[in-house]
Amino acid sequence: MVTAVAASLLALPAPAQAAQPVGMAAPYEYLGWGSPPSPTEVMAASGLRDFTLAFVLSRGRCNPEWDGWRPLAGGVDAATIASIRAAGGDVAVSFGGWSGRKLGTSCRTAVALAAAYQRVIDSYGLKAIDVDIEHTEVSNAAVRSRVIAALAAVQQADPGLEISITFGTNQNGPDPHGLSLIADAAAIGFQPTSWTIMPFDFGAPAGTMGATSVAATEALAADLASTYHESTAVAYAHIGISTMNGQTDEADETVTTADLQTMLSFAQTNHLARLTFWSVNRDRPCATGAPVSDSCSGIAQQPDAFTSLIAQFRG
């Protein structure tokens, strides 16, 4: 029996046939704040095809909704997905992030968490998801293990689904929480499409953010090769970089377009699985005299400059 919610979601356009993996070059757009730009206008201006839409959280009792309060059907998020697909693109949906109530915490078992992920996957006919595991999800060992077990179950149910696990990093590679995620996954034979690190908010980068991000990625490749008993080349094929464009949350960190070009060249040379950034909302200069914010980068740049670079990534 088709419910009213399911019936409304069936009206969404089918995903376009992908020329490359959906999540490979799909920067984040957040519809909750930051004066989100029109995705179709961004596509036309930059050549970008795909977006990662953030974030699905818990409304309580393992109930997935956008930001924990916007419904899956009938709102701005569903309309945005429809407009991107109508323009020839597609989306990955991101769960988690730093703020809000996380599904990994609200869903008390791996089975329940997998069902929550699956509900969103089925609602939009997704080909790609991202779990941005931060804050209360990543700091708790039991929750980390639950997320990994749930994603392993989702992978079995949807073998063609792209799954990215996005997490923080030190300059010399994953921190203990990240290493724990990798170890938990390897222990049950689970390998996501991409282990995506966020190489920023270091506080005091050792060099330019481009070079520092590359060094952190090289360290992750060594960790994956060791843990999964695979070659470095295979490890790189399961790695992603998710940077932050412009001024980061740290006053002494700035990611320039030159830094992103360094990451792009490295990603292309080593055939990484994913290259993205937070966020399309910020991919524009701030107004004269205005402070950096969720709606501008804080650096001198052309609108959509970072997005245009990401759109060049082909793996």
Which are the catalytic amino acids? Answer: 134
How far apart CA 223 and CA 221 sit, in angstroms, is: 5
Q: What is the dihedral of CA 129, 205, 264, 31, to 10 degrees?
A: 40
Per residue in 24-39, is it b (16+ CB within 10 Å) or e — as a string? bbbbbbbbbebebbeb
| Residues written for the chain | 315
Amino acid at 42: V
Supply 298's token pair: 């804080």
- H runs (alpha helix) in the chain: 4-9, 39-46, 76-86, 103-106, 110-124, 135-138, 141-157, 176-187, 209-228, 232-236, 257-270, 305-310
